[in-house]
Each structure stands twice: as structure tokens, then as C-alpha cells.
Amino acid sequence: MKKVVLALAVIATVACFSSCNKKCTCKTYVAGSVQKTEEVVLDKDQYKKCADMNATVGEGQLKTGYECE
């Protein structure tokens, strides 16, 4: 779990420092519930669309990770 959170923090940090102006709405899920919602700037050098930043495990009540749209 710590590795997932660390990876998400790194992704969010990289996205924040990019010069691109497209913003994604990203949600952090823990055990199916949204813990945090934030707007992240899309880094077009790494990702073509917001959904490329998704890193979730499980579905429904068990979903854990980071999901952007």
C-alpha cells in the first residue's frame, strides 16, 4: 500500500510541474471510498490522456488507487 501511495505522489508531483495546461480531475480511492479529489495538470510528455495516469486495483467496494478523468 505504501508503494502505491508513493507512486501516486510521484505521478502527481510530475504532473504539477509540467508546462501543459490540460487539467485532469483525479480521485484517490481506499477500500472503495474516495479519500481525496484533486485537479492535476496532464504531462503530455508522459501521458496522452488523463486515463493513462490511472493506477487502481480492484473494483467497487474494493477499489484502491488513483483514477483520473
Percent of the chain exceeding pLDDT 70 equals 90
Tell me: the pLDDT tens digits for 16-47?
Answer: 665 546 889 999 999 999 999 999 988 888 88
pLDDT at 19: 52
Report the pLDDT value the prediction gives residue 29, as an integer from 0 to 100. Answer: 94
Q: What is the mean pLDDT of residues 35-61?
A: 89
pLDDT of residue 20: 47
Please say whether the beta carbons of 11 and 66 come within 8 A: yes
- Rounded to an integer, what distance in angstroms lies between the CA atom of residue 57 and that of residue 7? 13
Beta pairing partners, 29: 34, 65
pLDDT at residue 13 in the model:
76
